Every structure is written in C-alpha cells, then in structure tokens.
Structure 1
Amino acid sequence: MHGAPLPPDAPDPRDWLLYRGYGALLAASGVVTALVSYQVSELSAMPARFLPVEALSAGTGVPLVLTRAGQDIPPVLAGIDAFLPAATAQDWPMRVIEVPDGQHSFDILNPGPQSEAAVLAARDAVLELLATT
C-alpha cells in the first residue's frame, strides 16, 4: 500500500514506475502482486476505520511485510508503534524491515544502498512468508 497523503491531482500510484518496478521485482520471483490505491490529501482526512491496528481483529492472518522508516512522520510512527505489539500478540505472520535513517518515501527520495537493501529485504521477506504460510 502506498503512503499518504497525496495531492488531489497526483497520478494514480498504480501507474508510478516505483510500484511497477516492485511488481516486476516480485514477478521475477514468481509472485503476483496488487497495489491498493486510495486518495487522501491529508492524514486527518483518513477515516478511523483505516487504522491498521483495528483491522487485526477482523483479518485472516494474511502475511504482512512492514517497512518502518525511522525518520517517518510522527503519526505514521505512532501507528506502527501501536500496530506491532498488537500484531505480535496475535501471532500475525509478519516481518518488519527497519530503515533507521529513512524518511517517509525513502525509496523514492533517498535512492542508495540503504534503500536498495530495504527493498531487497522486503522482497525476500515476502517470499519467505509466502513459502511458510
């Protein structure tokens, strides 16, 4: 799922080369992907039901790979901090990719070895979770 918020006139993230590249990276490993697309211009406009921690009780334990950018915006980091212990308590199949120096959208804004390593680690985590669940 792409990050939020996006400007109202932003192109659909499913058309972004970044996400098409992720899809191609996974397809090369035999994985079919889909990207959830939503338009939110401000974090405050996101509905309460969007909170991932609340979705845990309604979910089916679908494997999840979460990338945590250590320098992300405070509301995102707070959401991750609430989500991780709740998911762990429910034995949710999950891998967390830590990018300590990453900001929100680090994979777009800060290309380099740390970003590349995080993307490849996320790919490997997806493949591992799919093989074990």
Structure 2
Amino acid sequence: MATHRFVVPVVPTDRERHGVLDVYRPAPETGTGAGTEAAVRSAKPAVVFVHGGPLPANASPTPRDSPLFGGYCSLAAASGAVGVMFDHRFHSLEQRADAADDVAEAVGAARRLPGVDPDRVALWFFSGAGLLAAEWLDAPPPWLRCIAATYPVLAPGPDRELEARFRPIEALSATSGLPVLLTRVGRERPEFATGVEAFVAAAEEHDVALDIIDVPEGRHGFDMLDHSDASRGAVTEAMAWVIGKLAPGRTSAPEGR
C-alpha cells in the first residue's frame, strides 16, 4: 500500500492499541467529575473506519498504520469522537466473508471500549469496502447512527454475482431511515462509477436519507492523492456530517431492527 499524506492537516492523536483495534481518543475534558454517572455522561461516540480492498496480505504499511487512516482517526478525535481503525482480511474477493466477519467483530469490540457510548456508532467505508456495507444497510441496528461511504465500490462488476450480503444497492430497500453519506468523485474509475450511479438511483427510488458530497475533480483516493482546497473541504464536510449524526439524542433505524 502506497504511503500518501492525508489531505487535511491534523495534529496526530496518540493511538492506543486494544487487540485488533487502534483507538484515537479526544482530549480529556476538564470538570467532568468522578464516578459512574460522570463516566456515562462523558462517554464519546465512535467512528469505525473500514478500509478498502482487496489488498495484498503482505501490504506494508497495513491500513491501520497508514497516514491516511491515522489522519481520519485523528480528525475524528479532534471533532469529539473516538476514532477506531483495524485491518480486515479483504485480500481477495473470495475472502469477502472473512472481511465482513472482521468488521462485525471490530464493531462489537469498539462498542465495548471504555469511554465509548455503545449507542452512538458510525461506520465509514472506503473504496472496495463499500461491498461490506450491504448487511449494515440491510438491517441497521438501533445504535448505528449513520453510514458514510467515500469513493465506494458498490457493485462487483458485470462478470461477478455476489450473495445479498455484499450487494449494497439492493440493501437500500431495507435501510429504514438510516442516514447515509456518499462522497462521490468526478474522476471515478468507470467500472466503479456505474455502481455509484445505480446506488444513487436506488436511494431515490426507496426514499433513503442519502446525502452526497461531490468532489468534481477528485480521483478515487482523492483524500490522499489530490491536495486541494476542494479535497480538504470534502473531507471536513464529511466528518462534520458524521459527527452531527452522532449527537446525543439522535436516532437512526427504528427500534427492533
């Protein structure tokens, strides 16, 4: 995996390693007091970042060590949320189920972290991980406040047929009010752009709460390749959108899903 700088200048946040997770926490608040009630009040929402793929198993650095995701997690922490990063096993399309299981395990572990509000979680998918968003769109739990997708791959290609667990376009019919953010690049690869167009059309058909941030001159990977005001603006706008959905008192999917 090539090492590219994150387009947004951020002060790096020290990370904690908790098993498979890298955890980036906001700066401690002063005057929160002590005890169980204070701890509950000060619990922070979590943004779990899901890197793309397929990536070689021997990629160096791995996504959790890349400047890109260190930047995203540091930006989340600076915005008041706990940034969570991990590596998953999406090394080939045939390992998609392993990767999906890794995502579920990581999200569960993130919700159990000390200082994290388990009822305020966002999932943010990138590139090929867009396929892994399908099951979360299909049956969003009540603690999942939103899904963000940045230059996502949303269809496997004309010569591939995947099970429903990996078909996010079809999953939109069951999303039930979950807010979804798409960051769409104007210079997307043609084979990916077709899936994005179909996703937007399906969202409109099913009345999905889809917001779109367009980066007209952006490439796939603009957040590390295109160092421009437009790129920085798109990333900061996307982060602000996610943090807004994680505000206390907001809900997404109906109870029971």
Per the shorter chain, which TM-score range?
0.7 to 0.9
Q: 1:13 aligns with which of 35, 38, 63?
A: 63
Hey, what's the Cα distance between the residues in 2 that align with 1:55 and 1:105?
Answer: 25
The alpha carbon displacement at 1:111 in A equals 1.5
Residues 1:124 and 2:173 are matched in the alignment: no
Q: 2:82 aligns with which of 32, 35, 38?
A: 32
Hey, what's the Cα distance between the residues in 2 that align with 1:40 and 1:121?
Answer: 30
Q: Which has the higher strand share?
A: 2
Q: Which has the higher helix share?
A: 1
Q: 1:48 aligns with which of 141, 162, 175?
A: 162
Q: What are structure 1's unaligned runs of at least 5 residues? A: none
Contact 1:40/1:46 (<8 A) preserved: no
- Where 1:48 maps in the other structure, the secondary structure is coil
Hey, what's the Cα distance between the residues in 2 that align with 1:18 and 1:48?
Answer: 29
User: Who is 1:63 aligned against?
Assistant: 179
Closer, same or farther in 2 for the Cα pair 1:3/1:102, shift >3 Å? farther
The alpha carbon displacement at 1:2 in A equals 3.2
Hey, what's the Cα distance between the residues in 1 that align with 2:58 and 2:176?
Answer: 34
1:116 is matched by which residue type in structure 2?
A: R
Contact 2:169/2:199 (<8 A) preserved: yes
The alpha carbon displacement at 1:86 in A equals 1.2
Q: Which structure has more RCO (C-alpha within 8 Å, separation ≥ 6)?
A: 1
TM-score scaled by length of structure 2: 0.44
Residues 1:102 and 2:151 are matched in the alignment: no
Aligned length: 133
Closer, same or farther in 2 for the Cα pair 1:19/1:29, shift >3 Å? same
Q: What are structure 2's unaligned runs of at least 5 residues? A: 1-49, 94-155, 252-257
Hey, what's the Cα distance between the residues in 2 that align with 1:80 and 1:91?
Answer: 16
Contact 2:175/2:208 (<8 A) preserved: no
Once superposed, what is the RMSD of the aligned Cα atoms?
2.9
Deviations 1:32-83 (A, max 9, x none): 3445745245766976242320222354543222111111111211111000
Hey, what's the Cα distance between the residues in 1 that align with 2:191 and 2:200?
Answer: 14
Hey, what's the Cα distance between the residues in 2 that align with 1:104 and 1:96?
Answer: 16
- Where 2:79 maps in the other structure, the secondary structure is coil
1:81 is matched by which residue type in structure 2?
A: E
Hey, what's the Cα distance between the residues in 1 that align with 2:191 and 2:232?
Answer: 25
Closer, same or farther in 2 for the Cα pair 1:12/1:111, shift >3 Å? same
Give percent identity, aligned residues only: 42
